[in-house]
Amino acid sequence: MTATAPTTTAVPTTITVPEVWPEVWAVVLAAGQSRRLGQPKQLLILEGEALVRRAARAVLEAGFTGVVVVTPPGELGQQVRAALAGLPLTLAECSHPELGLSESFRAGLAALPAGVAAAHFALADMPFVTAEHHRAVLEAFVASGAPLVLARFGPYQMETGGVRAPPHLFRADLFGGFTQTGDHGPKHLIAEYGQEAVWVDLPREALRDVDTPQDWTKLQAGWGE
């Protein structure tokens, strides 16, 4: 489902932001089971670095107050946490990732400290979403205070093929709605508050992710283009 909004922020851009920033945390969702890929996507190596570590570094460099990474349970969780060693992160385990993406969202929210103004959600398998892109979402929230900041990957008009995909940022007063999320995350919140959302336009090439072996082969072949 797509939504329209009165405000669009392009990247790169300059946004006027206040001197005192609200407390905004980022959450990297990295508890997926990678069923279609057949191997843990979090641990795939690109440019000498596991995808989960690459994703975590990008949000760390964007300037959020803190960063939570949601990991799977068991041996895979241990491997994911090892891949993140040395980074200043809060780690949260999703005990039942098989129940759907909603479980990861809730695990991430539960790990946030009290009093945060908003949470920014990113995926571990989108290696071309950079610190600059995350920073644009953060600045759009700081400047607007909107309940939602949604990323849109060009072309930037939805009717001509733009794609809405994470990262997305949710203001704290929407957190209660995550108790109602299904297997595919907070789509109902986006539908309900979409008219109040601020959009951040990101380059189409940043949309590349890894769901299947074919995705991974194409991503590796296209690296550096």
Write the pLDDT tens digit of every residue in 138-194: 999 999 999 999 999 976 555 555 688 999 999 999 999 887 665 666 888 998 998
Residues 115 and 23 sit within 8 Å (Cβ to Cβ): yes
**Can you give the residue ranges of every domain in the chain?**
22-222
Q: What is the CATH number of domain 22-222?
A: 3.90.550.10
Q: What is the pTM of this model?
A: 0.85
The number of beta carbons lying within 10 Å of the beta carbon of residue 13 is 12
Q: What is the pLDDT of residues 72-85, one digit of tens each?
A: 999 999 999 999 99
Residues 58 and 86 sit within 8 Å (Cβ to Cβ): no
Cα 4 to Cα 160, 175, 200, 212: the distances in Å are 13, 21, 12, 30
Distance CA 40, CA 30 (A): 10
The number of beta carbons lying within 10 Å of the beta carbon of residue 221 is 9
Does residue 185 come out as left (phi exceeding 0), alpha (psi in the -120 to 50 range) or beta? left
